[in-house]
Structure 1
């Protein structure tokens, strides 16, 4: 199936996809703030520039889009019908980069977690998830570096 858009229009459209301050990211930040957690955004000095970090707890949180980061089992993680080889390679590179960034952050003593775009829709479930991630009994990845 051919793309219905011209390459120029597709490029323009894709350039409009936001990387920071997306709706799912803002929902996560509002929920964390409502729970009383304080955080920092987009620390460029950390690998992968995590979306939200909780410095006191040494937790780096990524808010991943289901489509771009290939949320397993999610209906939003579909593959376009045109140029499937290109998209599969791009998605594979994204997943590989995510794994590499997680390893780098863990090596620096950060606990890493991901909240998927589809998990931000229900505010109560999102708050419960954040509470579990940020609770004091959440096991640290490197307890001696916390």
Structure 2
């Protein structure tokens, strides 16, 4: 459907065009390809977990993979949305808004890490571009290490 000359975003919308709005609405916040692949590999190693769960009930943030009994929270961060130092490219359109948005995301990520660490959780973060096998192996090793350290 062609974009009309008189298109304007809905009230309160951040979209600069109808096409941009459709594109942004299509971005998944969970079950991305890297998440699904890493979960499959972790599951194949015999580990069970919660998906898109809150590690702490009073914290309004979810981790991509949660191992509650051993307090391990895994985040697989998108390069754009979380400001990857290797791949983040500031947008050309509405750059002020998006750069601030990404900066707020990064600050929230650091705050999440701090709060979870203070509550005794191990936080593991990966970038979406990292090797899935290596990520899964790191998760499996971390969970098994924490399990073996728990008193019987």
TM-score of the pair, normalised by structure 1: 0.78
- 1:124: Cα distance to partner? 3.1
Runs of 4+ in 1 over 4 A off after TM superposition: none
Alignment match of 1:134 (pick from 99, 119, 143): 143
Q: How far is the alpha carbon of 1:56 from its aligned partner? A: 2.4
Q: Which residue of 30, 41, 46 maps to 2:40? A: 30
1:104–1:137 CA distance, 2 compared to 1 (3 A): closer
Superposed CA deviations along residues 42-100 of structure 1, whole A, max 9, x for unmatched, are 2243632111111222101111111110122x22x111122221221111011011111
What is the CA–CA distance in structure 2 between the aligned matches of 1:51 and 1:104, rounded to whole Å? 16
Write 1 or 2 for the structure with the bigger share of helix.
1
TM-score by length of 2: 0.75
With over 3 angstroms needed to count, the CA separation of the structure-2 counterparts of 1:129 and 1:46, relative to structure 1, is farther
Structure 2 unaligned regions, length at least 5: 1-14
2:94 and 2:122 mapped to 1: Cα distance?
37
Q: 1:29, CA displacement in angstroms?
A: 0.7
Deviation at 1:123, TM superposition (A): 4.2
Root mean square deviation, CA, Å: 2.4
| Match 2:104 to one of 93, 96, 102 | 93
Q: Distance in 1 between matches of 2:145 and 2:27?
A: 35
- Counterpart mapping for 1:1-146 below 5 A: 7-44=17-54, 45=57, 47=59, 48-72=61-85, 74-75=86-87, 77-119=88-130, 122-136=131-145
